[in-house]
A and B are shown apart, each in its own frame.
Chain A
């Protein structure tokens, strides 16, 4: 726990000491939010890969390959 705490503050203090740190944190936060909370959820749903078995995916590819 002590090591984890040290590592955590290593990063926090590091960004805090950078003049551009706050702006960079903000940009990273916005970017990750847009990517994972908007793009991933609404435009690239996980269901595309998770809900099908290997055989179903193979069947689908066979169909696609016949076009």
Chain B
């Protein structure tokens, strides 16, 4: 916990980036998911030619437009921060991120912007067929632009398809398709977009439930709930099923993150997944205690998730930090030694090159190729530094999972009572729907915390620690901009909530 609240420049820069991306991601899920819900409704309008569906679509388009307008361009601030606060990181990853982010830009600015304009303003000005096509393209385009962002993020979690250029001290792409089809990226993409579908479905259910509680726009609210609950239920089942694949990928590529998610300090064969329990606050690394207070688990489940084998060994934090010879797990101290050899080889190469000593440069390069995968470990003096903040990761993960389970139940109940036409009598469910309208977004934010805090202290897994990725700035500068953004984001968030609430209060027209 001390590390998290350490008022150093690194942590302020970390905090600023977290603030920016968490704020930005308040808007993204609704864009990703509501576009599909609207596309389904637009299709119903096209098929039935019933003006009711047209008016229904228009209302949800209005809320989407408000969300889009407030959220648009907030992601640009992250690019400013990459350049200034994270200049070393930008240099290190620039060649890798260039292609995905450029493709994302093309999708965002050309495909999304064009079709969103038709979705927002095209009604009665373009043909019904073109309106329908644009709605689907807006949905597909926004999701495809998310794909490229998550490919870039996936590379940070599992750097593949690249080689380190010793002359320029940066990573360069050697296999575009290895980066695109990186398991960490594909699993992440599907997990994020399907979570966004749930978040959007819950938003639509929440607003519609409020109308039903107020006995307003009843047909509109029931129809919206039917579409959103069907869409949300399928997405919630999909996320739960896919969660297994996410766990497997994390266990294979970032075992420390997996151990932190479960607060698993001491690895075991046939490891169970925790159902009830919490990290023991008195736990000290290496003290031999299990590190979990109250331990009710589903036997073998963690081993199955991590390795597809119920009797396999799942390493704990202490196994990963100190090594476990019996299970063939290399400790951090050994990796640090290799990392320092890679770093020395890197500087030897540079020195040999400057003296035009080609033989020395070749030898240094060969040495680097042997240990280059451990390069990032050169910057640590203490193996314990490799442990992420376990409490934050653990609680974020378990609350996210708990919310995920509640989403399956909630959407299933709404679907069930919608089909039986008993929703109006289930006021407790409608109230639950209202309260849960923004919980999908909360779950996504928690998921981001699991993914990003869980990979600390790395900016790029095993290659670049955060403390090297950060620029050499004064703490005061970063603090100043941190609070500037906090004020700006708060004003924008208040504006969004006010405008959104006003639009909801006014309600849909003609239904």
Contacts and interface: CB of A to CB of B under 8 A. Distances in A.
A14 B347 contact: no
Given A27-B69, A27-B70, A27-B492, A18 B62 contact: yes
Interface in B491-511: 492, 495, 499, 502-503, 506
Nearest to A34: B488
Main secondary structure of the interface of B (DSSP, over half): helix
Contacts of B1: none
Interface string B29-70: 000000000000000000000000000000000100110011
Nearest to B495: A27
Given A20-B66, A24-B65, A39-B80, A13 B121 contact: yes
Contacts of A57: 91
Interface residues of B, number: 44
B222 interface: no
Contacts of B346: 65
Interface residues of A, number: 33
A54 B65 contact: no
Contacts of A24: 65-66, 69-70, 499
Main secondary structure of the interface of A (DSSP, over half): helix
A58 B169 contact: yes
Contacts of A10: 117, 121-122, 125
Contacts of A32: 73
Interface of B: 62, 65-66, 69-70, 72-74, 76-77, 80-81, 83-84, 87-88, 91-92, 117, 120-122, 125, 167-170, 343, 346-347, 350, 468, 472, 477, 480-481, 484, 488, 492, 495, 499, 502-503, 506
Interface of A: 10-11, 13-15, 17-20, 23-24, 27-28, 31-32, 34-35, 39-40, 43-44, 48-49, 54, 57-58, 60-62, 64-67
